[in-house]
Amino acid sequence: MTSVLTLLATLALANAKVEYTSSTMYDIFDFQGKTEVPLPRCNNGCLLFASTLGNDPVVIDAYMKNLIVYKGATKQKSIGEVSKQLKAGTVQKAPLDLAAGSYSIKNLNGNSDQGKDVTVWVVEKSKASSIDYEIYDAVNMNRAVAVPKNVITVMSASTFTVKANKGASNSFTARLVGFDNAAENNVDKCTHAFKTADAAQFAGFEFHVNGPIISIVFNKKNPVDFKAELMYLNVRKLAMSGFITTPGFNGCSRIGGAQVYHGLDYNNYGDEFDLHSEPTNYNVSFDVDVNFAPNHSIRVKDMTNSAARSITSTPANQKFTLSKTQYVLVYYNDISAPENFIVRYTSTQ
């Protein structure tokens, strides 16, 4: 199995894009060293969203300025320009709206030029028009407290954090995909990153996203105070439930584990996460999905009670609880795409 995963990893980087049923996500490895990347999703019309690094609303990265969308020989716009577009009067992202036709992204940079991380997400227009959504960039999201549309999507060219403050009764489901796969019975069978039941008061959340995108469906039409920022922490509050994933995780079984978002910022094969709540004890329930080789594992240490366990490659879903702990350590080594996992943890007193 290890040799198969190694071969898949090599193939994945050679063709790094992630193909969903109704959309395609591209990263820097799809463009660097290539002269042209076709956009077949746009044959019948598409929306092209882009996220680049840098929070200046005007200044465009030189490499991204030379990644240009063309229709035949006609220039449309650069990826750098698209990444800065906002809907008038809002901080929502505005896509490049392309009518049916034959499009591609041409790379006018030199072969030796090095680009930075970028996320380009191309959605079939017919699918996008069927969904009531909001979409933001983590680099500049400052959403007003308001009733959410059916789906809120946040994308980024780097790891990021989404936060919601406490509020009126609500529940939600979060998935590490775009709005096209945010629903419960989504076509690409993308698992949830986190979900909650209705509560008298919405507890809020703080999720650290080790990938390019997250979509959240709130189940009640109550106002939500929801923000994002370019921050990703390995030391976290144990009191705040959340999840840990391998880089670029999407959890979509239909598209296969080999399709994982890649990036220059996503090349860590091991990591460590410290969850603290001293001096308060919590009972922490874990719900873990794994897809990696038998010789790999995730280690979970209850540092308060001097206990440890290994999460191995089988079964594919594993659940357990740590009782009355104040400090949990989660770490792994030598796990790389297409190997992947998600560790969900829920803390209660």
Q: What is the pLDDT of residue 4?
A: 41
User: Which is it for strands 205-209 and 242-245: parallel, antiparallel or unpaired?
Assistant: unpaired
* Residue 11: CA count within 13 A, CB half-sphere: 10
Q: What is the pLDDT of residue 200?
A: 72
Residue 284 carries which side chain, given as an amino acid letter?
V
* Residue 276: CA count within 13 A, CB half-sphere: 7
Structure tokens given for 349: 């007193």
Domain residue extents for the chain: 21-129
Q: What is the pLDDT of residue 268?
A: 72
- The CATH architecture that domain 21-129 belongs to is Sandwich (2.60)
Is residue 128 within 8 A of residue 200, CB to CB? The reply is no
Q: What is the pLDDT of residue 258?
A: 74
CA distance to 169, 172, 299, per residue, from 221 (Å): 9, 11, 39
Alpha carbon distance 335, 209 (integer Å): 18
Give pLDDT tens digits along the chain (349 positions): 444 444 344 444 555 899 999 999 999 999 999 999 999 999 999 999 999 998 887 899 999 999 999 999 999 999 999 999 999 999 999 999 999 999 999 999 998 999 999 999 999 999 999 999 999 999 999 899 999 999 999 999 999 999 999 999 999 999 999 999 999 999 999 999 999 987 778 899 999 999 999 999 999 889 999 999 999 999 999 999 999 999 999 999 999 767 889 999 876 789 999 999 999 999 999 999 999 999 999 999 999 999 999 999 999 999 999 999 999 999 999 898 889 999 999 999 9
Write out the DSSP string of 221-276.
Answer: ---B-EEEES---SEEETTS-EEEE-TT---BTTT-TT-----TT---S-EEEEEE
Q: What is the pLDDT of residue 107?
A: 98
According to DSSP, the residues that pair with 199 across neighbouring strands are 170
Is residue 155 within 8 A of residue 135, CB to CB? The reply is yes
Alpha carbon distance 196, 177 (integer Å): 18
Alpha carbon distance 122, 24 (integer Å): 5
The four Cα atoms 135, 139, 141, 142 give a dihedral, to 10 degrees, of: -170
How confident is the model over 43-91, as pLDDT tens digits? 999 999 999 998 887 899 999 999 999 999 999 999 999 999 999 999 9
Q: What is the pLDDT of residue 55?
A: 80
Q: What is the pLDDT of residue 301?
A: 98
Q: Which residues contact 47 (CB under 8 A, 6 or more apart)?
A: 95, 96, 97, 98, 122, 123, 125, 128
Structure tokens given for 21: 């049923």
Structure tokens given for 244: 């840990």
Terminal Cα-to-Cα distance of the chain (whole angstroms): 41
Structure tokens given for 54: 């840098």
Alpha carbon distance 236, 242 (integer Å): 9
How confident is the model over 13-36, as pLDDT tens digits? 555 899 999 999 999 999 999 999
SS3 191: coil
Q: What is the pLDDT of residue 1?
A: 42
Structure tokens given for 112: 């030796």
